[in-house]
Structure 1
Amino acid sequence: MIVEYNPLHSGHLHLLEETRRRLGAETAIVCAMSGNFVQRGDFALVRKHQRARAAVESGADLVLELPLPWAVSSAETFADGGVQVLSATGVVTDLAFGSEIGEAAPLMELAGCLLLPAYPKELRRRLDSGLPYAACRQAAVEALLGPEKAALLESPNNILGVEYCKALLRRSSPMRPLSVRREGSAHDGTLEPGAHPSASAVRALLRQGETERALSLLPSAMERAYREEAAAGRAPVFAEVCQRAVLARLRTMTETDFAALDQGKEGLCHRLYEAVRSSATVEEVLAAAKTKRYAYARLRRMVLWAYLGLTPADVPETVPYLRPLAANETGRRLLARMRQSAAVPILTKPADGRTLGAEARRLLALEAQATDLYTLAYPDLSAARGGGEWREGPVILGGHAPF
């Protein structure tokens, strides 16, 4: 599974349980999980090791980190990074994910359409009209597959599922897609009585100070992890807590610095540069730079990349290593198998990074820097000691010695 667990909720448990029901009770589940920052250009609510621990306590067996540049990129790049991580293990046979349709075959057909030579031409014709990318993509697919199939792209989990399938096809992965129907509140929807909550709704409750109500909606392991982190002054983590640090970074950047982040070369860098100089908050920056063509998530990612000091030039062509965040006894056995089967090195302790090549070491250093910047959003600044990435290893559950 490719996950964020920001935070882990009952809908995620349903996917874990249904996957085991379909594949067999003894099925081991490996997760590729975002670290301290997530795909929409935001800070994770709880730091990565605690979310990974909650995942293992809730049914996963091994949680591997999705490296930072892939975790905070577009849905396409996020999905591709997750497929790379899971493929590189050499042990994963199926890729399970939730979707509104609950079937993999239609999503694979859509993914195949997006890889057709005719698709970029159809897309470009529509992008030239200035419409939002999502609308243009759906219209291009409708021209190739018809309206019924294109309508599947109106739902967020279907869209992400298509990106997973596209990554499988593009990389000729032997992993089989397995889609489970998503149940409960919509991806960004409000809470519905008796339904699985959305992660965004839980975060909204916490932001509003309704802590007990929010925690009552979480599985016991995630609730426990949250309470422990809150007691230590490390949760909840919200980006606005270190807004001044983000703005300080943005205001020291030149237009050339912003241009390095604008992969589409569409002038978005100029809009952000100007917005930074006329705005007093990050939300004002985003509102000033926003147009109907650019999604807020894309702008948020650009701002986050700027804060973290990331540029597209920092992203290796492929994921260069695997980093376990948490494992149980089954996960430890999988790691032992992966020592023989993995396509890239496995880092079970920070010192393992010394054996990597220069590009991979640079990525590891960027992860460490990002973690130090993440801690600046802790509610208690005294808990934001630097260097944590070099001190903390995987969470091992089951009472055995580490690896």
Structure 2
Amino acid sequence: YLKAARRLGFAPELLAVPRRGAAHDSARASGRFASASLLRESMAAQGLGALRPYLPPAAWEAYGRALDARLIPADPSKAEAAILAVLRRLNEQELASLPDLSEGLEHRLSAAIRQARSLDELYAAVKSKRYPLARIRRLVLSAYLGLTRADAETPPPYLRVLGFNRRGAEVLNRAKQTARLPLSSSLAKLERMEGDCARFARLEARSTDLYVLTLPGVLPCGYDYTCPPVLLKETIPHPR
């Protein structure tokens, strides 16, 4: 974030907030705090009940509704063959256009794609001290979603509202009069605008269409256009 702010000539007031409880990706809980990785693994192995000690009541209820609607948990392994298929279609020139790819990494990535029979094999063949696993995963996901360096370098063309509470609604009403970018909770409305707005809205919709294939209840295309914003009626208390 600091590098991006410097590159954009943006000088915000910065505040570092110490992380409490379990470390990032920690396999163990710390008191009533658990990492997102541990929560996902616990839910997959033991069901939603395993998460209850670590979630605020409102979040617990939201998870329960999502589970009943078969919207969770997503299973990334369902997309593995599709991701590998997309990667095998790309040549080195196409790989070179991915975001955050430099220093000839496309050659190493291309060679690994031609040999890998799974994503784990692909990651193991490409990662190194110079190319950490997180970066390789981002590259693979960008390729799967059809994102390019040009997309990553394009400034955000709109502000899409995903959820708000009563106070947030007041802020949004004022922001509609002062925002420098188009502001809406409707992706369809944003897509009807010209240029980058339409292109990025279609990228969002396509990404969601691919994501919903990994859900327990697979959904048809278009979920991003019909899913309403989240309306919070009260502040969610955090565990202490």
Does 2:9 match 1:171?
yes
Name stretches of at least 5 consecutive residues in structure 2 with no aligned partner. 234-240
Q: How many angstroms does 1:292 deviate by?
A: 2.2
**For residue 167 of structure 1, what is the amino acid of its counterpart?**
A
Counterpart of 1:248? Answer: 85
| Larger relative contact order (Cα-Cα within 8 Å, sequence gap ≥ 6) | 1
Deviation at 1:348, TM superposition (A): 2.6
The aligned residue for residue 341 of structure 1 is: 178
Q: Which amino acid aligns with 1:276?
A: I
Q: Are 1:368 and 2:202 matched, yes or no?
A: no
| 1:201 is aligned to 2:38 | yes
2:229 counterpart letter in structure 1: P
| Match in the other structure for 1:388 | 223
Indicate whether 1:289 and 2:121 are aligned. no
- Whole-angstrom CA distance in 2 between matches of 1:318 and 1:167: 13
| Per-residue deviation, 1:234 | 1.8
Which residue number corresponds to residue 136 of structure 1?
A: none
The answer to whether the 8 A contact 1:241-1:379 is kept is no
Look up the equivalent residue of 1:270 and give its one-letter code.
Answer: H
* Whole-angstrom distance in 2 between the partners of 1:321 and 1:392: 18
**Structure 2 CA distance, aligned partners of 1:182 and 1:193?**
12
The correspondence of residues 21-100 of structure 1 with structure 2, limited to 5 A, is 79=1
* AA at the equivalent of 2:228: G
Structure 1 pair 172–309 and aligned structure 2 pair: CA distance change class (3 A): closer
Q: TM-score, normalised by structure 1?
A: 0.53
Query: 1:243, 1:282 within 8 Å by CA — same for their partners in 2?
Result: yes
Opposite residue 313 of structure 1, the aligned amino acid is A
Structure 1 residue 167 displacement after superposition: 2.0
* Cα distance in 1 for residues equivalent to 2:127 and 2:15: 36
Aligned to 2:26: 189
Q: What amino acid maps onto 2:80 in structure 1?
A: Q
State the Cα distance separating 1:326 from its structure 2 match: 0.9
Give the length in aligned residue pairs: 234
Structure with more strand by fraction: 1
Q: What's the TM-score, normalizing by structure 2?
A: 0.86
Q: Please give the alpha-carbon distance, in whole angstroms, between the structure 1 residues aligned to 2:172 and 2:147.
A: 30
Please state whether the residue corresponding to 1:332 is helix, strand or coil.
helix
Aligned counterparts of 1:234 and 1:192: Cα–Cα separation in 2: 25
User: Conserved in 2, the CA contact under 8 Å of 1:262 and 1:269?
Assistant: no
Is the 8 Å Cα contact of residues 272 and 289 (structure 1) preserved in structure 2?
yes
Does the 8 Å contact 1:234/1:379 carry over to 2? yes
Partners in 2 of 1:178 and 1:262 — Cα distance? 28
CA gap 1:262/1:268 in 2 versus in 1, 3 angstroms: farther
**For 1:207 and 1:222, how far apart are their aligned partners in 2?**
18
Q: Letter of the aligned partner of 1:306 in structure 2?
A: A
Unaligned runs of 5+ in 1: 1-78, 80-162, 399-403
Find the aligned partners of 2:165 and 2:150 in 1 and give their Cα distance. Answer: 36
2:195 matches 1:323: no
Q: Distance in 1 between matches of 2:78 and 2:166?
A: 38
Partner of 1:216: 53
Q: 1:357 to 1:272 in 2, by over 3 A?
A: same
Q: Given that residues 305 and 311 in structure 1 are in contact (C-alpha distance below 8 angstroms), is that contact kept between their aligned partners in structure 2?
A: yes
Structure 1 residue 349: deviation in Å?
Answer: 2.0
Task: Quickly say closer, same or farther: Cα 1:194–1:312, change in 2 above 3 A.
Answer: same
The one-letter code sitting in structure 2 at the alignment partner of 1:256 is: Q
Contact 2:109-2:126 within 8 A present in 1 as well: yes
Distance (Å, rounded) in 2 between the aligned partners of 1:292 and 1:350: 40
- Residues of 2 paired with 1:256 and 1:368: CA distance? 26
Moved over 4 A (4+): none
Return the offset for 1:193.
Answer: 4.4
Aligned with 1:180: secondary structure?
coil
